[in-house]
């Protein structure tokens, strides 16, 4: 169990970035943290599905969907992959679906909004890139901490 991100932020002034409060919790797991993995895709989640099918090793997947709310990038099937493969959670700059199922799964899912429309399956996107949204720069290997207070990012693990 991690300490409150309020305390972590207070104890490490200038060492954390705070994400704008844009994201809603869709999974039952509200508190999570881990090293960041990144992916950029637009209304297409095949590369995301393939990546979440690999060992997560406690990482947090950060997805930049360009803020599109026209197609959901994550739902119950990808939520199951997060659990099955040991991912700590997922942050999506875009939409989620199957929210009635996700809310009962012990998984950490944050997205901007819900949308019932499924994504494309072309496999387009970029893995392992630096992302910038919600006022934060997300770099692979840096650390993300999330709880009911929001999301913070640090270059190094915080204690």
Confidence category of residue 148, pLDDT binned at 50, 70, 90: very high
pLDDT digits (tens, 9 = 90+) for 54-106: 999 999 999 999 999 999 999 999 999 999 999 999 999 999 999 999 999 99
For 22-148, the fitting CATH number among 3.40.50.2300, 3.30.930.10, 3.10.450.50, 3.50.30.40 is: 3.50.30.40
Question: Side-chain half-sphere of 125: how many Cα atoms within 13 Å?
Answer: 29
- For the residues of 68-127, what is the DSSP string, one character each? --SSEEE-HHHHHHHHHTT--EEEEEEEE--HHHHTTSS--EEEEEE--PPPB-S---EE
Q: What is the pLDDT of residue 3?
A: 81
Q: Where are the domains of the chain?
A: 22-148
Q: Please state, in angstroms and rounded to a whole number, the distance separating the CA atoms of residues 5 and 159.
A: 10
What pTM does this model have? 0.96
Classified as helix, coil or strand, 27 is: coil
């Amino acid at each position: 169990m991690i300490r409150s991100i309020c305390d972590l932020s207070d104890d490490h002034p200038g060492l954390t970035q705070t994400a704008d409060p844009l994201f809603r919790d869709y999974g039952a797991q509200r508190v999570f943290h881990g090293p960041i993995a990144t992916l950029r895709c637009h209304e297409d989640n095949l590369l995301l599905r393939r990546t979440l099918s690999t060992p997560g090793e406690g990482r947090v997947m950060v997805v930049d969907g360009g803020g599109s709310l026209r197609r959901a990038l994550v739902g119950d099937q990808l939520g199951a992959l997060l659990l099955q493969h040991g991912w700590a959670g997922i942050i999506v700059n875009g939409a989620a679906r199957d929210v009635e199922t996700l809310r009962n799964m012990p998984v950490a899912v944050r997205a901007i909004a819900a949308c019932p429309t499924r994504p494309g399956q072309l496999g387009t996107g970029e893995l392992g890139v630096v992302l910038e949204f919600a006022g934060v720069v997300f770099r692979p290997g840096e650390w993300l901490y999330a709880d009911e207070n929001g999301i913070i990012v640090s270059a190094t693990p915080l204690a």
